[in-house]
Amino acid sequence: MGRDERGVTPQHEDFSAWYNELVAKAQLVDRGPAKGTMVIRPYGYRLWELIQDELDRRIKDTGHENAYFPLLIPESYLQREADHVEGFSPELAVVTHAGGKELEEPLIVRPTSETIIGEMMAKWVSSHRDLPLLLNQWANVVRWELRPRMFLRTTEFLWQEGHTAHADEADAMRETMLALDLYTEVARDVAAIPVVPGEKTAGERFAGAVRTFTIEGMMRDGKALQAGTSHYMGNNFAKAFDIQYTSEAGQLELCHTTSWGMSTRMIGGVIMTHGDDKGLVLPPRLAPYQVVIVPIGRGVQGAQTSAAARELAGRLKAAGVRAHVDDRAQLSPGFRFHDWELRGAPVRLELGPRELESGTVMMAKRLGDEGKQNIPLSSAPELLPGVLENFQAFLLHRATEFRDAHTVRVESWDSFTEAVASGWALVFHCGKAACEADIKAKVAATPRCIPLDGAPETGRCVLCGDASDYGKRVIFGRAY
């Protein structure tokens, strides 16, 4: 198919044009009227709901409870933690007028909720028996965005933010890593994104955190996407908001807090990890429609295939498959096939008069080289769950191979610049902030993470030649 109105610019020609055209044409999203805002359309919102379901279940299974805190936060709250306010100031939207009057104290539209939740934690925690306090909130946040990209960087986005308070560092660190594990699992097992969990360097840390952990995925243009982060805050927010408890020994102690978030950015990750020149490729666990049935034929025959398609969809749904019948008879079968390729449905079933007569249906997978396959109508509900499971595994395998093929261990600056032009470099770094900044200025690459499972190793910094910090190699790459 050429690049007509329905198609998208090929990835190798212009990856970001491919992305921008695709999110619109696949009807995931539209631009909002205020700068940098997005309207999430039903197909995109369903994808988000499926991510939410998977994540929310895991959050609750590990003992956390959902709550909801106000959108508007008094300005003075943010000022109580110096690093936090400094980090967020440039992105804040501030309400100065309300009810026709200037407010005595401006209100911040939340960019994140550490401060307001910290204030409440201080009220709710008094004894060691109140700990740990394990909260999560599903919400929208606002961070003013000058260079918006749909799902990746928007002025308003949706997310969950976990906020917990603990008696000591050990318990808070266990929590920080638990949240990172949840994210790793959702990314890998649900979104089929083989993320690398690791720690951020000091320069990439969250504003106000003592340690920041991340999961990093590789997109099909070789860039990294930070898909979820988990922070250990030490006592920073406990000091700022007086989150204290009386220990068993009767001493007044400061809590140790954590926060962690995953957002609608994850949808951008799914698009850029699996999509191709024909459009989206959705992992079955996140596909709004896992199987799309396209009945073919006109007049009486069309009525018969449509009825058979609806009957089949009913049986597939009963077997736990999200099935959809596309009986837009005014559109040619070819148009409808292309449309579902663009929108990334994992499996398409074509049902024409000939198939109906022989009691079969033609199955076409969104990816894979087996071509179309005739399967019996009667056993489709038993067959399809396995087909979808294999497709899910295939996507994870393919993305893992791609990531590994574009990750290179390098020692010299020349091979470093070559590696980060098309993927990730595993290198030694001195750990100095100025050296990190130099690398960023020269090749636009940043330290994505110090991988948790990296082998202990030492060497010389790839740029300045000083002794390496961290005790292992660091992943550098260009990032979204």
Shortest separation between residue 106's beta carbon and Zn ion, angstroms: 42
Shortest separation between residue 416's beta carbon and Zn ion, angstroms: 11
Q: Which residue type is seen at 112?
A: T
Between 287 and 430, CB nearer to Zn ion: 430
Shortest separation between residue 207's beta carbon and Zn ion, angstroms: 24
Cα distance between residue 363 and residue 321, in whole Å: 15
For residue 312, CA distances in Å to 80, 306, 323 come to: 60, 10, 9
The overall longest dimension of the chain from CA atoms, in Å, is 83
CA Rg value for the chain: 25
For residue 316, CA distances in Å to 22, 313, 353 come to: 29, 5, 20
Q: Which residue carries 């018969």 as its tokens?
A: 304
Between 22 and 461, CB nearer to Zn ion: 461
Shortest separation between residue 229's beta carbon and Zn ion, angstroms: 24
Residue 83: both structure tokens together: 């690093």
Residue 195: both structure tokens together: 């993320």
Say which DSSP state 186 is in.
Answer: I
Between 121 and 435, CB nearer to Zn ion: 435
Shortest separation between residue 447's beta carbon and Zn ion, angstroms: 11
Shortest separation between residue 451's beta carbon and Zn ion, angstroms: 19
Spatial contact of 73 and 110, defined as CB atoms under 8 Å apart: yes
Cα distance between residue 181 and residue 53, in whole Å: 17
Between 186 and 435, CB nearer to Zn ion: 435
Cα distance between residue 331 and residue 435, in whole Å: 58
Q: What is the β-pairing status of strands 65-66 and 133-142?
A: parallel
Q: In 180-278, at which residue ranges do the beta strands (DSSP E only) sit?
A: 196-199, 211-218, 224-234, 244-246, 252-254, 256-263
Between 202 and 464, CB nearer to Zn ion: 464
Map residue 345 onto helix, strand or coil. Answer: coil
Shortest separation between residue 477's beta carbon and Zn ion, angstroms: 17
Between 92 and 463, CB nearer to Zn ion: 463
Shortest separation between residue 464's beta carbon and Zn ion, angstroms: 3
Shortest separation between residue 463's beta carbon and Zn ion, angstroms: 5
Q: How many CB atoms lie within 10 A of CB 35?
A: 12
Q: What is the β-pairing status of strands 360-365 and 373-376?
A: antiparallel
Between 148 and 459, CB nearer to Zn ion: 459
Between 186 and 430, CB nearer to Zn ion: 430
Between 144 and 413, CB nearer to Zn ion: 413
What residues make contact with Zn ion under the rule CB under 5 A?
430, 435, 461, 463-464
Task: Report long-range pairs for 28-32 (Cβ below 8 Å, ≥24 apart).
Answer: 28/150, 28/151, 28/267, 28/271, 29/150, 29/151, 31/150, 32/156
Map residue 187 onto helix, strand or coil. Answer: helix
Spatial contact of 475 and 425, defined as CB atoms under 8 Å apart: yes
Between 40 and 463, CB nearer to Zn ion: 463
Shortest separation between residue 434's beta carbon and Zn ion, angstroms: 8
Between 195 and 461, CB nearer to Zn ion: 461
Shortest separation between residue 449's beta carbon and Zn ion, angstroms: 17
Cα distance between residue 282 and residue 260, in whole Å: 26
